[in-house]
Amino acid sequence: MTAAWPWISTVARLGLAAVFLTAGLLKVGDLAASGRAVNAYRLFSYDTAKVIGAVQPFLEIALGLLLLIGLAVRLSAAIAALLLVIFIAGIVSAWARGLQIDCGCFSKGGDLAAGRTAQYGLEILRDVGFLILAGILLAKPRTRFSLDGLLMGER
């Protein structure tokens, strides 16, 4: 099983890279919508939500790129895990307060149209799955085809 870990971690790294790159790239073209999505959670002032919404896509893209090339894998996984815990906490908070919003994870987010119901349970399960990928990388950061590996002389 020891020989399999670098391959398992590689799949986790590339999967998590795809998640963060996709999320960031879907938001980066409309930073105002990203700010509105953060504001829909009603956790911050409007101005603070706009700043978070403007920064978040670039953070997600940077994190995705680091994971994709395999640079600072353990640190990137730790940041990803922290972000995912924050995202899960935000979704749980919205659910507990009875808000009907689109989480904005892979969309423009915001309040749902009348008659639509939020799928918070599925969103939390999805993010817990992503958190498991980050956990794998925290525990076993050595992956194949990574810049970290090249810098450490691995082939």
Q: Which of 115, 117, 121 is nearest to 100 (CA)?
A: 117
The Cα-based distances of 88 to 38, 71, 100, 120, 125 in angstroms read 13, 26, 15, 9, 9
pLDDT (tens place) for every residue of the chain, 155 residues total:
688 999 999 999 999 999 999 999 999 999 999 999 999 999 999 999 999 999 999 999 999 999 999 999 999 999 999 999 999 999 999 999 999 999 888 888 888 887 788 899 999 999 999 999 999 999 999 999 999 877 777 65
